Structure 1
Amino acid sequence: MSSVKPCIRIDVNGPLNVAGPDGTDLTPVGAKNQALLAILALSPKMTRPRRWLEDKLWSTFGPEQASANLRQALSKLRRGLGDCGDLLTSDRSGIGLDPQRVQVDVLGADFALDTSRELLEGLDVRDPEFDDWLRDERSRLKAKFDQSRPSESDGVILYCHAQTHGAGANTLIGDVLANQIGENITEQVRAWRRADPDTAPDPDQARADMDVSCDLAETDGKPTVFIKVTHSPSGRILFSKLLPLDRAEDVLRSTNDVATVVFEAADRVLGKLPLVIENGRPEARATALSRLALYRMFSFEGPSLAEADGLLRQAFDADPNGVYLAWRGLVRTIQLIELTGADSRQILEEITEFSHRAMELSSDNPLAQSLVGHARVMALSDSAGASDLAEQAVARSPCNAFTWQALSAAKMLAGDPAAAFDLSQKARTIARFSPFRQWWDLYHCIVAIACNKPDMALEAGEAAARAAPSFRPAHRHLLALYTVQGQHEKAMATAEKLTKIEPGFTLDRFINDESYPVRTLRNKGLLEPLRALL
């Protein structure tokens, strides 16, 4: 029997509606009972003192009668919630709901306010104190919505420039590096680069939001670059790093060291952008939503993937940038591979739709091209289409780990695993400081397995598991690799870990279910040794 207790969902945008875990209507009968549940659902930590509740719902009654009315309302609520009644808690001082088992529509990450409805529409308690509370809550919800609603904006403005210090330093190299960072940022958020920080043909045009500077100095014939990205209005430093170069030409060739710093700088800046740009601007809100979505998506967990899709939908609503549709296509692709229970045919149709729309809106965006290329490889098995997109992406953005991985995936599908391995290693190197590095580590583990490099596969798989301890795909591949190498204690510990983090995991399913997402292991015959563990 499952130990997970059922949850209820409470909708308050519009008329109060309460639904049980199976969708059963559990909405309480009686205005006071509905009001009590609604107040608790919208309260901090979903709890309030008894006396406070009595004052809000029975303010015209004496203390004893108000207390008796509250006890009666609690009793009716518990009975009405049926098997979920124990999520309503009470003691002598306070009453509350279990926040872990209650979902409230307006508190959800993907909530979009329906402005045609009112909070708790039609709920008439006929108590002046409750009426005051309800007015305050409606005002608070509207203010929260207005604050997050996008305003008109042309995008983030970046001033990319370089300065030289000392004889022999090459300003061109600094300009190229600063613009590479700026380009990498513009691939992930609507942004523009400006040649001058303060002046523009249109006097009403906004000043630069961010300053991307590369200061060059040359010592003993070798250049060093100090990279700094600041929020121009406040002067806050968002990223800084010293980059020593063997040759100035390393920047022009986008060597691994240069590409790594460019990718890291853009990633760090994007992570902090929502903290320094006004949330009312669409690009800031969209970036905040999409960054949260990436953390959810790269967990590969079913509920988190669904949440990631909702966040990316909101990001696109805030700022219709095709890259968010490309990300949604990748979410769908992962859902397809991870067997999340959704209809496979519908997912494939959505992947195709998101890919087409993303290219319509952002056909020149290398990141969008890369993500669509991934979907073409992993879901649609379109080798030619994936290769074309990935090659364009790499040519346009050689400092982006996603572009190189997309090209690696296309080579793998085209039957060139050796090239895929080298490209994957390059992508993994560039992304080594990413908060989502498990994505590249896992892929490299799979490519190494395909190339008959078990030691390298094991190293990459363990790196992925260290970066994200609950990352199920990494543990799946480690289970087989440990078994093949005779590390049976580690194999059994990994199997136990999978039992805890993956619902429905069994060794029998792992080995015998043809649809289970370990195709490369199965194709290489690496599942057979696990039969000894059954």
Structure 2
Amino acid sequence: MDLLSDSESVLPRLYLLGAFSLTDRDGTDRTPKNKKSRALLALLALSPRGTRTRIWLRDKLWSESDEERASGSLRQAIFDLKRSLEPLGEPIFSSDRNSITLHLEKVWVDLRAFKNGEPMPADLDPQAELLEGLDIADEEFEEWLMMERSAWETFRDDMAERPEATRMTAPVRAVRPSSTNMIAIGLLPGIVHGSEKGAEYIGDYIAESIARTLSEYQPVDIVDLRGGFSPSEDISAAEPDYLIRTRTLVVGDSTSVTFLVYEPGSNALLLSQSMQTRQSDFYEDEFALTNQFVAQNVDHLAKIILHPSTRRQGIRNDHGALLGYRLLAGMFDLDASKMETARQTLVRAQQDSGNALFPSLTAYASSFALGECLGGWDEARRDETEALARDVLQDNPFNSISLACVGHVMGFVLDRHDIAAEIFDRAVQLNPMQAFVWDHLSLHQMYCGDLEKARASSDRAVLLGNYSPISYTYETTACMIATLQGDHGRAVQLGRRALVKRPRFHAALRYTLAALGHMGNTEAAADTRARLLAIDPDFADREVQKERFRLPLPDERRHVLDGIAKAGL
């Protein structure tokens, strides 16, 4: 019995499980005779959106040919495919000078339908080999096919195991103080395909780093379920709010890592993010690519926790969840009343938890009073800020966010750049995956006059923080540094990126205006000037401008102020 819906039954059907075949709307076999044509369709059907570039397709089907011959062979394969598919009536694929696209809305593909949970034909065998018997004499195609088969088998096996996923692990138990309702993250055993010994390490490194980095914004229960962990019976039982794991596939030097987040109980998949690269790239440049993947998924997971789906409202995710993450993002609204509310919330959190993060954030909030004139600044405020910073340092926190906040206070607020340098060094060593840490290290290096190092640190912050709710602040720091270096085109580009996300962000407006002034772009400068004065009318005063640019670098400060003057202020 055919279980396909009426809308699906009128589409041509492409079968990838088992022997490759294509049937028209009436069920007549329309499978292309040419093997390369069948391979071309398969490559498109298994691409994320049904589209591949001509270069990518040439490399997979004619990798041993030179560019001219490979291009000619691809053109011939496209011609043959179009001719063989004419009986279908409406074209199901198209091509242009750069890419080829299989229109997925015009053809039913068994593997895609299976993954989407759609009804399947009764004769479909999910255990069948993917693209059985499709033999193309090209090493690149064979390696691609091996990867796709392994990925499909992993997905199929994972689907079969999901109902049993939590039963296979030890009972989940975690310390949960009665005064708090912390989010609990369970680490499931990683899935590894391939014989490479480093694959398991890569997966564990990513899962552990994501959990640890998230916990720096507020204490989070991390429950390790990978080794049958079972604490003593006097610890109260509690099921994790989220389960995370990695799946690592190694084929030759190619490695694919997927980070997965599940909902306990239903085992619904809440997040799946993948990266594919050479295995050696995971370790290069001090894990730069891997750390970027970690930072990206920290922000994805934080978003899931802060904005759960309707069915997840019953979890322990109360308004205290990831308080540090939310307050840090909220500070950059640059609203005086919101800043005061944030300070009061931090004082209460500091009293309730005793965690070093909250006094660090309280001290950090003072930098806005000084740099953005939010909340007022006087000697009493300075003494209070210094006392908070010193108390945090005395506690010797193992939290990179806390250290970055205190480092910024010591340098920017208290002018103790020697102490700040040591603090930032500790922060980066503790967690090189925190964009916030790299961004404030960059600001420190900028204030100390080392613009080359500042730019390198800022570039890393922008890369790591691409998905952060305060990514615009990292782009603004990069804009500031580019302006000071005289790279005004880059400064304007970065400033505009930041202002798209936060149109009223003062620092981005100021430095973009200075860069536009130096570029002589009077029209854009006039628009930016009007936007800035609308939210900061005092900035028209030259003395106020000097206060807004608290740069201990005379030449660079003069350069920025000259740009502001050229922009009409």
1:399 Cα deviation from its structure 2 partner: 1.2
Match of 1:227 in 2: 259
For residue 50 of structure 1, what is the aligned residue in structure 2? none
1:305-342 deviation digits (Å, cap 9, x = unpaired)? 22322333343345332112212222111121112351
Q: Residue 391 of structure 2 aligns to a residue in which SS?
A: helix
For residue 299 of structure 1, report the CA deviation from its aligned partner.
1.8
Residue 20 of structure 1 aligns with which residue?
none
Give the Cα separation in 2 of the matches to 1:222 and 1:243.
11
Structure-to-structure mapping, 1:191-270, within 5 angstroms:
191-196=220-225, 199-203=229-233, 204-205=235-236, 206-233=238-265, 235-248=267-280, 250-251=282-283, 254-270=286-302
CA shift, 1:360, in A, is 4.3
- What residue identity is the alignment partner of 2:389? S
Aligned match of 2:504 = 470
**CA-CA distance at 1:465 after TM superposition:** 1.0
SS state of the match for residue 255, structure 1?
helix
Q: SS of the counterpart of 2:196?
A: coil
In 2: Cα distance, 1:181 partner to 1:194 partner: 13
Aligned 1:482-521 pairs, distance under 5 A: 482-502=516-536, 504-507=537-540, 509-510=541-542, 513-517=545-549, 519=551
Of residues 341, 351, 354, the one that matches 1:320 is 354
Amino acid at match of 1:186: S
Deviation at 1:209, TM superposition (A): 3.6
Contact kept, 8 Å, 1:178 with 1:214, in 2: the verdict is yes
Alpha-carbon separation, structure 2, partners of 1:316 and 1:231? 31
> Contact (CA 8 Å) 1:367, 1:403: kept in 2 or not?
yes
Q: Deviations over 1:274-309 (max 9, x none)?
A: 55688996x854335434423321122323322322
Is 2:383 the partner of 1:349?
yes
The one of 402, 410, 415 aligned to 1:368: 402
1:506 Cα deviation from its structure 2 partner:
4.5
SS of corresponding position for 1:151: coil
1:329-376: CA deviations, max 9, x gaps? 221111211123513223322322322333345611112111111222
- For 1:125-524, list aligned pairs within 5 A: 151-152=179-180, 156-159=184-187, 161-168=189-196, 170-196=199-225, 199-203=229-233, 204-205=235-236, 206-233=238-265, 235-248=267-280, 250-251=282-283, 254-274=286-306, 285-340=319-374, 342-361=376-395, 363-502=397-536, 504-507=537-540, 509-510=541-542, 513-517=545-549, 519=551, 523-524=557-558
Q: Do the aligned residues in 2 keep the contact of 1:321 with 1:362 (CA within 8 Å)?
A: no
Aligned amino acid, residue 475 of structure 1:
L
Q: Give the match for residue 109 of structure 1.
A: none
The 3 A distance-change label for structure 1 pair 367 and 292 is closer
User: What SS is found at the alignment partner of 1:515?
Assistant: helix
Structure 2 distance, partners of 1:181, 1:252, is 19
**Separation (CA, whole Å) in 2 of partners of 1:529 and 1:252:** 40
1:36-115, aligned counterparts within 5 Å? none
Q: Secondary structure at the match of 2:546?
A: coil
Specify every segment of 5 or more residues in structure 1 that has no aligned partner in the other structure, as ranges: 1-148
Cα displacement string for residues 505-526 of structure 1 (whole angstroms, at most 9, x for unaligned residues): 342x156653234647971333
Tell me the amino acid that sits aligned with residue 262 of structure 2: T
> Is the Cα–Cα contact under 8 Å of residues 286 and 314 in structure 1 kept in the other structure?
no
Q: Point out where structure 2 has 5 or more consecutive residues left out of the alignment.
A: 1-176
Distance in 1, matches of 2:319 and 2:192, equals 36
Larger displacement relative to structure 2 (422-431 or 451-460): 451-460
Counterpart-to-counterpart distance in 2, 1:273 and 1:318: 22
Q: Which amino acid aligns with 1:224?
A: S
Distance apart, 1:487 and its partner CA: 0.6
CA contact (8 A) 2:340 2:375 kept: no
Distance in 1, Cα, partners of 2:376 & 2:218: 30
- Judged with a 3 Å threshold, the aligned counterparts in structure 2 of structure 1 residues 494 and 443 are, in CA distance, closer, same or farther, namely same
Q: Give the distance between the partners of 1:233 and 1:164, measured in 2 at CA.
A: 24
Query: Per-residue deviation at 1:492?
Result: 1.0
Q: Contact between 1:376 and 1:386, CA under 8 Å: does it hold in 2?
A: yes
> Aligned partners of 1:462 and 1:240: how far apart in 2?
31
Deviation string 1:429-487 (CA, Å, 9 cap, x unpaired) is 11111111111111111222233322222222112111211112111111121111111
Change (3 A) 1:184 1:247: same
* TM-aligned CA distance change 1:296 to 1:474, over 3 Å: same
Paired residues in the alignment total 383
Deviations 1:59-102 (CA, angstroms, capped at 9, x unpaired)? xxxxxxxxxxxxxxxxxxxxxxxxxxxxxxxxxxxxxxxxxxxx
- Partners in 2 of 1:226 and 1:447 — Cα distance? 35
For the residue of structure 2 that corresponds to 1:525, the secondary structure is helix
How far 1:154 sits from its partner (Å)? Answer: 7.2
Change (3 A) 1:393 1:335: same
Q: Name the aligned partner's letter for residue 293 of structure 2.
A: V
Q: Say whether the 8 Å CA contact 1:222–1:247 is kept in structure 2.
A: yes
Equivalent residue, structure 2, for 1:130: none
Structure 2 length-normalised TM? 0.61
Percent pairwise identity: 19
Structure-2 separation of matches of 1:222 and 1:165: 12
Match of 1:514, SS? Answer: helix
Q: 1:59 matched to which residue of 2?
A: none
Change (3 A) 1:344 1:406: same
Residue 237 of structure 1: how far off its partner (Å): 4.3
- Equivalent residue of 2:278, what SS? coil
Match of 2:303, SS state, is helix
User: By how many angstroms is 1:202 displaced?
Assistant: 1.8
Contact 1:511 1:527 in 2 (8 A): no
1 CA distance for matches of 2:564 and 2:281? 50
Contact persistence 1:256–1:429 (CA under 8 A): no
Please report how far the alpha carbon of residue 253 of structure 1 lies from its aligned counterpart in structure 2 after TM superposition: 5.5
- Which residue number corresponds to residue 139 of structure 2? none
Asked if 2 retains the 8 angstrom alpha-carbon contact of 1:176 and 1:251, the reply is: no
What is aligned with 1:132? none
